[in-house]
Amino acid sequence: MKPDIEKIRRDSLTKMYEDALRSMTEDEIINLISEVNYLRKQLVYQSDIINKLKQQAMEDPMTGLANRRTFDRELEKAMNMYERYRHNGALLLIDANDFKAINDTLGHLAGDAILKHIAKLLKAHTRNTDIVCRIGGDEFAIILHEAVGNSAADKADQLSNTIAVTPCTYEGREIYISVSVGHCCFEEAQDKQELIAKADASMYEQKEYGEAVA
């Protein structure tokens, strides 16, 4: 029977600590306990800082949504799952209409409030398994997991209609904003670049259609 090396090491360390404690005065033991507690608190504090930094690296600071870096990583992961296991999905790209005009007339604080408003609606009307991102400026993206056929188009229409009829309240006034939502299913693209390009083209088609109707 082989000796338990780990147990021998633990017992040896335990005995060493016990011998050290016996040689210490009561005040020295109290000081040691205080130092250990201080170090423990420092470790917890540093762990919290690391976790916050990790979160900040993945989140858009204004809206709290996933940022562009997270979007790129999650889309790559979702596309790999589709290629390997045929886990269907779709990409939605969302762009606020006439956002520059709102910034110019009402100010950037109003623009920020609208971006937060859109982000809140997008998050509220998607599933927990979907990835909602702000990828820059007034542009958003959603990675829909297990989306097939017309479900991506239906979700795009639903989000567009919901945002159009839900005003943003800013400084006591209601501001209506519309968005253009493009979509493309994984099965319609050969790779991530083509998926993004097709969703982007779909979004601008919606934007031009909306302007034509107006």
Q: Please, which pLDDT band fits residue 3 given cuts at 50, 70 and 90?
A: low
Helix (H) or strand (E) holding 57: helix 26-58
Q: Is the dihedral of CA 137, 169, 141, 94 positive or negative?
A: negative
Residue 37 lies in a domain: yes
Determine the residue type at 201: A
51 and 127 housed in the same domain: no
Average pLDDT, the chain: 88
Q: Is the dihedral of CA 95, 166, 164, 157 positive or negative?
A: positive
Q: What is the DSSP letter of 63?
A: T
77 and 49 housed in the same domain: no
Residue 161 lies in a domain: yes
Supply 1's token pair.
Answer: 């029977």
Nearest to 90 by CA among 136, 150, 139, 163: 150
45 and 106 housed in the same domain: no
> What's the rounded mean pLDDT across residues 16-35?
78
* 1 pLDDT higher than 60: no
77 and 156 housed in the same domain: yes
Q: At 163, which CATH number?
A: 3.30.70.270
Q: What is the DSSP letter of 129?
A: T
* 38 pLDDT higher than 90: no
Catalytic residue ranges: 138
| Boundaries of domain holding 120 | 68-213
38 and 132 housed in the same domain: no
108 and 170 housed in the same domain: yes
46 and 95 housed in the same domain: no
Residue 96 lies in a domain: yes
CB-CB neighbours of 67 under 10 Å:
19
42 and 74 housed in the same domain: no
86 and 164 housed in the same domain: yes
Residue 197 lies in a domain: yes
Separation of alpha carbons 116 and 174, rounded Å: 14
The domain boundary, picked from 36, 58, 80, lies at 58
202 CB-contact burial (10 Å; exposed 0-12 / middle 13-18 / buried 19+): buried
Residue 63 lies in a domain: no
Say which residues have a Cβ less than 8 Å from residue 65's Cβ, sequence separation at least 6.
59, 119, 122, 123, 132, 133, 134, 140
Q: At 159, phi and psi to the nearest 5?
A: -65, -40
Total residues belonging to the chain: 214
The domain boundary, picked from 32, 58, 84, lies at 58
Separation of alpha carbons 20 and 75, rounded Å: 56
The domain boundary, picked from 38, 58, 78, lies at 58
Residue 44 lies in a domain: yes
Residue 121 lies in a domain: yes
Residue 118 lies in a domain: yes
48 and 74 housed in the same domain: no
Domain count, the chain: 2
Read off the pLDDT of residues 106-120 as tens digits, 9 standing for 90 and up.
Answer: 999 999 999 999 999
Read off the pLDDT of residues 46-63 as tens digits, 9 standing for 90 and up.
Answer: 776 666 656 667 999 999
Separation of alpha carbons 167 and 164, rounded Å: 7
Supply 117's token pair.
Answer: 């408003």
